[in-house]
Amino acid sequence: MKEIYLDYNATTPVDPRVVEAMIPYLKEHFHNPSSVYSGAKETKKAIEEAREKIASLIGASPKEIIFTGGGSEADNHAIKGVAFAFQEKGKHIITSSIEHHAVLHACQFLEKIGFEVTYLPVDKYGIVHPHSLRKAIRDDTILVTIMMANNEIGTIEPIKELAEVTHEKNVLFHTDAVQAVGKIPVNVKELGVDLLSLSAHKFYGPKGVGALYIRRGVKIHPLIHGGGQERGRRAGTENVAGIVGAGKAAEIAMEEMEEEERKIRPLRDRLERELVKRIPEVIVNGHPEKRLYNTLNICVKYIEGEGMLALLDFYGISASSGSACTSGSLEPSHVLLAIGLPHEIAHGSLRFSFGKYNTDEDVDKVIEVLPGIVERLRAMSPFWREKHEH
């Protein structure tokens, strides 16, 4: 059975052109970029070319980009790096309650070692409001970190406004743009951010490679100490093939992003429309407009996400859920709780996230099978029966 992959926010398949670009750096160009012989020149040059491509994707200058081992490392670097560099000035950090765990858990770690963190609430669409940020900034605030687009519900935050408010008080602003970069236009200068995280595997690049944008002049400590790679900011022999792949993926994203949106948005919109029409009591999560064009997050009332995922999987459809039962933590998604959903509704969440290899047939298939799956599980649900038999 052919898999229908609808989980592009989790990860994307590597674009075949990216694979092609990477192969020479796994084969003949294996040299350590820090070495002095001529063979190493090619690997060094390849890294710098990739850096230019990443920089130009987000409107930065190449010197402002450092490569990391993924989005989580970039987030950790930004947050801990600023915290350690500015702890003399203050120990207060502001973030939101819907961040990825890479940000939330880094903040919680800092709390354990004496920092204070404010977790800003969001509205029912998942938006962080600039006025609530303004009220939270204190004299000892050293960093504000708010994601650009949420991975679960797709809501796009007003980063430009949030960064402005932050800068009024002379505080640094970081954004986790892992879900935004490669999908929508991102320009660090226009947004006015000081730090930005991205990850290649979310835009058809390899896993385990990301980058952190550090605006020129921003003081930050390294996260990984060792050799002098990345101008002393991130030690360790570079993941050359991965970095080349990230660069190639950035180049493709630059050229094809608009075309992808034109193709993907109608697929997502049609799925949303049809599911809402065909399945009673479904809630669509996230902001109606300020939302990633590829993301559809719904809650199907009276049933639970894991069962739906298992049955979808039976038909070859790969999706995800913010239900407790699938997370391993037994708590439903913190994002769904933060937008105000009660536990039992958050349990019934399903996320479909589209990408450039999806087709109309994929949407047809979900529309065909999901209503039946829901009916089947609802037939077992005490809540559904209670509501509809009396």
Ligand X SMILES: Cc1ncc(COP(=O)(O)O)c(C=O)c1O
Which of these segments, 47-55, 71-79, 159-167, 184-192, binds ligand X (CB under 6 A)?
71-79
CB of 198 to ligand X, least distance (A): 9
Query: Which residue in 165, 178, 317, 336 binds ligand X (CB under 6 A)?
Result: 178
Query: Which residue in 205, 206, 210, 307 binds ligand X (CB under 6 A)?
Result: 210
Buried b (16+ CB within 10 A) or exposed e, 239-274: bbbbbbbbbbbbbbbeeebeebbebbeebbeebbeb
325 in catalytic set: yes
Burial environment of residue 180 by CB neighbours within 10 A (0 to 12, 13 to 18, 19 or more): buried
Q: How far is CA 44 from the centre of its chain?
A: 29
- Backbone φ/ψ region at 332: left (φ over 0), alpha (ψ -120 to 50), beta: beta
When asked if residue 100 is in the footprint of ligand X (CB under 6 A), the reply is yes
When asked if residue 307 is in the footprint of another protein (CB under 8 A), the reply is yes
CB under 5 to 8 A by kind: which of ligand X, another protein, none does 12 bind? none
- In 10 A of CB 5, how many CB atoms? 20
Q: How many residues does the chain have?
A: 390
Residue facing ligand X at closest CB distance: 71
Q: If you write DSSP's letter for every residue of 135-159 in order, what string do you get?
A: HH--TTEEEEE--SB-TTT-BBP-H
When asked if residue 349 is in the footprint of another protein (CB under 8 A), the reply is no
CB under 5 to 8 A by kind: which of another protein, ligand X, none does 310 bind? another protein
Which of these segments, 29-37, 70-78, 218-226, 310-318, binds ligand X (CB under 6 A)?
70-78
> At which residue do the structure tokens 């408010």 appear?
165
Q: Which is nearer to another protein, 61 or 318 (CB)?
A: 318
Q: What are phi and psi of 174, to 5 degrees?
A: -115, 145
Number of residues that bind ligand X (CB under 6 A): 14
When asked if residue 304 is in the footprint of another protein (CB under 8 A), the reply is yes
Tokens of 106: 């880094």
Q: Which is nearer to another protein, 7 or 272 (CB)?
A: 7
- In 10 A of CB 34, how many CB atoms? 13
Q: How many degrees, rounded to 5, is the angle at CA 10 between CA 206 and CA 148?
A: 95
When asked if residue 281 is in the footprint of another protein (CB under 8 A), the reply is no
- Catalytic residue from among 19, 218, 325, 367: 325
Which of these segments, 42-50, 66-74, 345-353, 364-372, binds ligand X (CB under 6 A)?
66-74
When asked if residue 309 is in the footprint of another protein (CB under 8 A), the reply is yes
CB under 5 to 8 A by kind: which of another protein, ligand X, none does 303 bind? another protein
When asked if residue 54 is in the footprint of ligand X (CB under 6 A), the reply is no
Query: What's the rounded Cα separation, in Å, for the pair 380 and 384?
Result: 8
Q: Which is nearer to ligand X, 143 or 178 (CB)?
A: 178
Query: What's the rounded Cα separation, in Å, for the pair 372 and 378?
Result: 10
Tokens of 118: 């404010």
Q: Which is nearer to another protein, 314 or 357 (CB)?
A: 314
Q: 3-state DSSP call for residue 177?
A: coil
CB under 5 to 8 A by kind: which of ligand X, another protein, none does 178 bind? ligand X
Which of these segments, 35-43, 54-62, 213-221, 310-318, binds another protein (CB under 8 A)?
310-318
Residues recognised as catalytic: 325
Residue numbers at the binding site for ligand X (CB under 6 A):
70-72, 75, 100, 102, 147, 151, 176, 178-179, 199, 201, 210
